[in-house]
Amino acid sequence: MDATEKRTAVAASGTGAVQEPFVNLRDPAKRLGPDGKPAVSRRAPIWVDVPDEKWNDWRWQLSNRINSLEEIGRVINLTDDEREGLSAPDKFRVDITPYFASLIDPDDPDDPIRLQVIPKGQELRAFTGMMEDSLAEDRHSPVPGLVHRYPDRVLMLVTTQCATYCRYCTRSRIVGDPSQNFNRAEHEAQLDYIRRTPQIRDVLISGGDGLTLAPKLLESVIRGLREIPHVEIVRIGSRVPVFLPQRVDDELCEMLAKYHPIWMNLHFNHPNEITPEVARAADRLNRAGIPLGNQSVLLAGVNDCVHIQRDLVHRLVENRIRPYYIYQCDLVEGAGHFRTPVGKGIEILEGLRGHTSGYAVPMYIVDAPGGGGKIPVMPNYLISYSDHKVVLRNYEGYITTYEEPTTYTPHDATKCRHCRTPRPEPGQEGVTGLLDGKRMWIEPAGFELTHARGNVEAHRLQDASKWVPYGVGAIEGQAGAPFPAIGEGAGTAEGAGGAGTAEEGGSPAAGAQVTGEPARAYGPGEEPRPPEGMPTGSAHGELL
Ligand SMILES: *Cc1c(COP(=O)(O)O)cnc(C)c1O
Ligand code: SF4
């Protein structure tokens, strides 16, 4: 009798009954089909005769992907828009695993899986703001395929290949193109940059999809990373478990588990993608000790619905996959018909936060066009605050106040070991620098005009004479204009003491013109604060 048997026997003797081994029917990875065998998802009729060994072999799935109008037309009933998309000569690559194509309802033109992988004629149309490299990744690449945008982590593109191609892919400029693939020499250059950059503690392997690499090549990349002492965590961003769950076999999981700590972010967009095969793949990865997250993209017609999103996040947490991000659709070529207003994302978050488990609520992210990085966008729960009270509202609209402490001893940096040994990256104070009084404002830098609006003028944020500092006392439209001395020109103390409107000549602009003083630029820490009694304005109308 081993230890487990002994415990079972003791437990059973306590109740006086011999207990059957417990079968957890709630576990999605253990679900059984009508035949009493592990549940399987639907197969399209053209593949019903494929033997199970082949169907369940990821290599078979990859080499039998469908991509032409004829092949896809044998699986689903194509619409005219899809025929136009599939016939276009220069379209983004099409390839769909038989497993994933089988999940499509062949007669539903709005099927959420179909919309993600079958091109439509609409994807060929340009839209306002469209860009080829909307996140300016190429400009942030010190070596090919390595994007270093954040201080302590990098994105490492190890391949341009995926198991199936998403029509809205943010990296469609390189993804799918075998002639732009990364080879061992480039992996080595990427590793070399990471080796020489000790602030990198987190490496995100992506592509394309790293899990489509030949297993030996993938292992050599991960091993190369693990040999770098300052790399703390390795993350893999992959859609393979969605398109090709057969790939998540014991061999892969055992290989990955050798290189812990490894985290993985998957990419599910709709509950229909979470099949019994996916549940077993997620279970294997979880049992290999890999924490799983999910990043989805908010897509019109696919998941722009609170109820779909709620069902998705419930299916995810049930499979021990933590919703991480919902991305606003990028301004990338081909994605125009998938875009939603940002308000839709806010509405979805409103429908999740408080209504369901905190574990099930992702962050909503707008990845800044032009390469500013990820920006979280949240509903407003903070309504107002004063020096002692914060006014908040909850998910039901209930308004409450939180009394601030009357005494608070500020954190003592001189006694704090963490403060005395900060990480070395420069420029990390960011907007919190404003709070620390290091700066009065932050001037946008490196803003380049890459969008396709046909606007050839410098962006106002690049032109100092157009730039309005955004802060206390900033006057709309008056960047750099000095305030007149009290009593000078028309902007008198009396005028300003009234309504201070432009008609009364109470605006500082009028004063500046009268005195003829040249406009002056304000440096960091300086602020065009109006003198006592002068009107203040806000720059909010000028932000865009
Ligand atoms: C998304 C991304 C990361 C990772 O960002 P997290 O918010 O830490 O998940 C890192 N580098 C680049 C270039 C990215 O786009
Ligand atoms: S899996 Fe990712 S990289 Fe590949 S096509 Fe889809 S979005 Fe693009």
Q: What is the pLDDT of residues 374-383, one digit of tens each?
A: 999 999 999 9
Residue 394 reports pLDDT greater than 90: yes
Which residue's CA is minimally distant from atom 6 of ligand 2? Answer: 166
Report, as an integer, the average pLDDT of 483-509: 36
Ligand 1 centroid from CA 5, angstroms: 47
pLDDT score of 474? 34
Which tokens is 428 given?
């990390």
pLDDT score of 426? 64
* Residues 264 and 290 sit within 8 Å (Cβ to Cβ): yes
- Phi first, then psi, for residue 269 (nearest 5°) are -115, -20
Q: pLDDT band at residue 456, thresholds of 50, 70 and 90?
A: very low
3-state SS, 397-433, equals: CCEEEEECCCCCCCCCHHHCHHHHCCCCCCCCCCCHH
The CA radius of gyration of the chain, in Å to the nearest whole number, is: 29
* Residues 279 and 29 sit within 8 Å (Cβ to Cβ): yes
Residue 345 reports pLDDT greater than 60: yes
Separation of alpha carbons 538 and 468, rounded Å: 10
Range of lowest pLDDT (62-71, 119-128, 267-276): 119-128
* Ligand 2, atom nearest to 207 Cα: 3
- Phi first, then psi, for residue 155 (nearest 5°) are -100, 125
| 330 has catalytic annotation | yes
Query: Long-range pairs for 421-427 at CB < 8 Å and ≥24 separation?
Result: 423/151, 423/152, 423/199, 424/199, 425/151, 425/152, 425/199
Q: Count the neighbouring beta carbons within 10 Å of the beta carbon of residue 525.
A: 10
Residue 28 reports pLDDT greater than 50: yes
- CA-to-CA dists, residue 443 to 5, 467, 468, 525, angstroms: 68, 9, 10, 11
- The pLDDT > 70 percentage for the chain reads 77
Catalytic residue among 91, 120, 162, 439: 162
Between helices 342-352 and 306-318, what is the axis angle to 10°? 50
Which residue's CA is minimally distant from atom 3 of ligand 2? Answer: 208
Ligand 2 centroid from CA 25, angstroms: 33
Catalytic residue among 65, 149, 310, 315: 149
Residue 105 reports pLDDT greater than 80: yes
Of 188 and 497, the structure prediction assigns the larger pLDDT to 188
Ligand 2 centroid from CA 195, angstroms: 27
Separation of alpha carbons 450 and 23, rounded Å: 58
Q: Which numbered ligand comes closest to the C-alpha of 374?
A: 1
Ligand 2 centroid from CA 308, angstroms: 21
Q: Count the neighbouring beta carbons within 10 Å of the beta carbon of residue 82.
A: 22
| 153 has catalytic annotation | yes
Which residue's CA is minimally distant from atom 8 of ligand 2? Answer: 169
**Of how many residues is the chain composed?**
544
- Of 446, 268, 479, 322, the closest CA to residue 372 belongs to 446
Report, as an integer, the average pLDDT of 236-246: 98
Q: pLDDT band at residue 390, thresholds of 50, 70 and 90?
A: very high
Return the exposure string of 348-378: e unless at least 16 CB atoms fall within 10 Å of the residue's CB, then b.
bbebbbeebeeebbbebbbbebbbeeeeeee
Catalytic residue among 330, 364, 439, 522: 330
Separation of alpha carbons 211 and 168, rounded Å: 20
pLDDT score of 7? 52
pLDDT score of 3? 53
Q: Looking at the DSSP assignment, which residues form a beta bridge with residue 373?
A: 368
Separation of alpha carbons 138 and 72, rounded Å: 33
Report, as an integer, the average pLDDT of 194-208: 93
Ligand 1 pocket, mutate which of 153, 327, 364 (most atoms under 8 A from CB): 153
What confidence tens digit (pLDDT) does each residue in 497-514 have? 333 333 333 333 333 333
Report, as an integer, the average pLDDT of 167-178: 94
pLDDT score of 439? 67
What confidence tens digit (pLDDT) does each residue in 418-448 have? 988 877 776 677 777 777 777 666 655 444 4
Q: pLDDT band at residue 131, thresholds of 50, 70 and 90?
A: confident
- Verify whether ligand 1 is closer than 6 Å to residue 156 (CB atom): no
Q: Which numbered ligand comes closest to the C-alpha of 265?
A: 1
The CATH label, of 3.50.70.10, 3.40.50.150, 3.20.20.70, 3.30.1020.10, for the domain at 138-413 is 3.20.20.70
Residue 470 reports pLDDT greater than 80: no
Q: What is the pTM of this model?
A: 0.80
Cβ neighbours for 80, distance < 8 A, ≥ 6 positions apart: 121
Domain map of the chain by residue range? 1-38, 138-413, 424-544
* Residues 68 and 86 sit within 8 Å (Cβ to Cβ): yes
Q: Which numbered ligand comes closest to the C-alpha of 267?
A: 2
Separation of alpha carbons 174 and 209, rounded Å: 12
Q: pLDDT band at residue 532, thresholds of 50, 70 and 90?
A: low
- The pLDDT > 90 percentage for the chain reads 65
Report, as an integer, the average pLDDT of 512-536: 45
Of 136 and 444, the structure prediction assigns the larger pLDDT to 136
Ligand 2 pocket, mutate which of 65, 137, 157, 175 (most atoms under 8 A from CB): 175
* Ligand 2, atom nearest to 208 Cα: 3
Residue 254 reports pLDDT greater than 90: yes
3-state SS, 263-304, equals: EEEECCCCHHHCCHHHHHHHHHHHHCCCCEEEEEECCCCCCC
Q: Taking all residues of the chain, what is their mean pLDDT, rounded to a whole number?
A: 82
- Phi first, then psi, for residue 24 (nearest 5°) are -90, 95
* Residues 102 and 50 sit within 8 Å (Cβ to Cβ): no
Number of H helices and number of E strands within the chain? 18, 12
* Residues 478 and 540 sit within 8 Å (Cβ to Cβ): no
Q: pLDDT band at residue 72, thresholds of 50, 70 and 90?
A: very high
Which tokens is 151 given?
């201080």
Ligand 2 site residues (CB inside 6 A) read 162, 165-166, 169, 171, 175, 207-209, 239
| 149 has catalytic annotation | yes
Secondary structure element (H or E) that encloses residue 86, with its range: helix 80-87
pLDDT score of 408? 94
Q: pLDDT band at residue 18, thresholds of 50, 70 and 90?
A: confident
Separation of alpha carbons 268 and 264, rounded Å: 13
What 3-state DSSP class applies to 306? helix
Range of lowest pLDDT (56-60, 244-248, 433-437, 460-464): 460-464
- Verify whether ligand 1 is closer than 6 Å to residue 94 (CB atom): no
